[in-house]
Amino acid sequence: MDVINTTQGLCAECLKVVSARICRTEDNVVMKKNCPTHGLSEVVISNDPAWYERVTSFETRFEKPGSVSKKSQAGCPFDCGFCEAHKQRLVLPVVPVTSACNLNCPVCYTINKNTRPYFITRDEFKKILAQVRQAEPDMRLINFTGGEPLMHPEFAELVEMCRDAGIHRITISTNGLRFLENETLLERLTELDARIVLSFNSFQRAPYTATAGKDLLEEKLKILGLLEKHRPSTTLLSVAALGINDQEIGDIVAYVMESDFIISSEIHTVAFTGQNVGRFDQTTRLTTPDVIAGIVKKNPDIAMDDFLPSPCAHPLCYSVCYLLKTENNGSVPFARFMKDEDITRILSRSLYMQPDLETEEVMNDVLNDVWSRELSGEAEALIIQQMRSMLEEIYPAKPIDYMTRQRRAEQFIKAVYIHSHMDAANFDVQRARRCCVAVPDGNGSCIPTCTYNNIYRARDKRFCD
């Protein structure tokens, strides 16, 4: 057994910081920890050592946080945040707007409270927007969560506040059930260019009973019908669990690739935090290469190496495959015609591709590079044709606003994102320090999401008694 790295983790029993080693075995990469009180523990963090070595060799583009609120005293992860030891700026603010939820999912990685539920006020949210803007003046992205965010009685107004504050990409993590009761809300959110991130774990009944606590298949299919009718920007978010729905992840991605009203698929590996602790079988744990293998098996246009780690996050946290749409529902992964450094460049300051001027410059360079290569055949000609059409639409001679560019870009590009949250078993202080996704509170604190879910959510009286 070879030791690849040393770090610090958490004891899953007492949540104290303990020493940890990242080791390579014949078949896996594992984290080994030793708690003085609770002894040795081990968890697989990659079932593919070659994949692990490849992604950890990629460069991470660090930028110090625009705002630091705490000194490093107790040590990571107990000084959040951001503390002076944090290495990465805020890229995606995550805002839980309510503790209320209309489901009680065993797979949920957070803590919800329906007794005396919390609903964020406009004044509280205004402070959060100001905090985010002060830390990151160019921020264009925000994610709403809960609980179930659509249960907030003034949710559309919160989205309007984002638009007024210059936030252009507003994502809503939702189970979608409220749309079955209030289609007008979906119409309004579509008008506001909000992106619906719909939880969708299966095309079968049993996985919903396991992950959501009840059979939701009929409801989910009806919600898909509403989304196709109103056509907001839509992402399907699937929580992948071994032996429950892992064999379907590739089918869900294939459905996204074939559907003209869905722009991307996002897969989260199951994590055991929040109300999930003790309620869900921990033998269902998957790693990122497990998920990629399942996708590749059902999608012949996609290969393992088409997924790259996000350059603004730890390589074990985010992997992404962007694809250029072609005729007849075909697609070509960016990694087939773009250099890794070009993809890294357009993603160095965001988890998601942005249709900004730097992207225009990179894409023009890529187009010229593809054209200048000594290549022949229909595939290369099709890539050149599609890239030219895309660039002409997104960056026309007569300038268009950012939101219009973003919507036009979605007509040409599909994406598959994989996000592996940490729980106490696989928590790695090095990953936490490099986290670019965090929960701002409006009072200066900004806590990385996995740290928040493992430690701080349970202390937050708004969400937990």
Q: Which residue has the higher pLDDT, 56 or 67?
A: 56
Lowest mean pLDDT among 223-232, 261-270, 323-332: 323-332
Average pLDDT across the chain, whole number:
93
Which residues are 309's β-sheet partners?
A: 319
Nearest-angstrom CA–CA distance, 212 and 224: 17
> Is the model's pLDDT at 362 over the cut of 70?
yes
Residue 414: predicted pLDDT: 97
pLDDT average, residue stretch 351-364 = 92
Q: What is the pLDDT of residues 93-144, one digit of tens each?
A: 999 999 999 999 999 988 888 899 999 999 999 999 999 999 999 999 999 9
Instruction: Tell me how far CA of residue 390 lies from CA of 4, 33, 177, 345, 363, in angstroms.
Output: 43, 49, 35, 19, 10
Q: Does the structure show a pLDDT above 60 at 376?
A: no
Judged by average pLDDT, the poorest of 2-11, 76-85, 165-174, 338-347 is 76-85
203-235 per-position pLDDT tens digit: 999 999 999 999 999 999 999 999 999 999 999
Q: Does the model's pTM come out above 0.85?
A: yes
Structure tokens belonging to residue 319: 């992997």
The band of 285, judged by pLDDT with boundaries at 50, 70 and 90, is very high
Strand-pair category, 264-269 with 413-420: parallel
Binned at pLDDT 50, 70 and 90, residue 187 comes out as very high
113 vs 189 pLDDT, higher one: 189
Residue 413 has pLDDT above 80, yes or no: yes
Asked if residue 252 has pLDDT above 80, the reply is: yes
Provide the pLDDT for residue 188.
98
Mean pLDDT in residue range 20-49: 96
| Share of residues in the chain with pLDDT > 70 (%) | 99
Cβ count within 10 A of residue 306: 22
pLDDT of 377 reads 64
Radius of gyration of the chain (CA): 21
Judged against a pLDDT cut of 70, whether residue 464 lies above it is answered with: yes
Sign of the C-alpha dihedral computed for residues 155, 157, 158 and 160 taken in this order:
positive
pLDDT, position 70: 81
- Contact between 436 and 86 under an 8 Å Cβ cutoff? The reply is no
Residues listed for the chain = 465
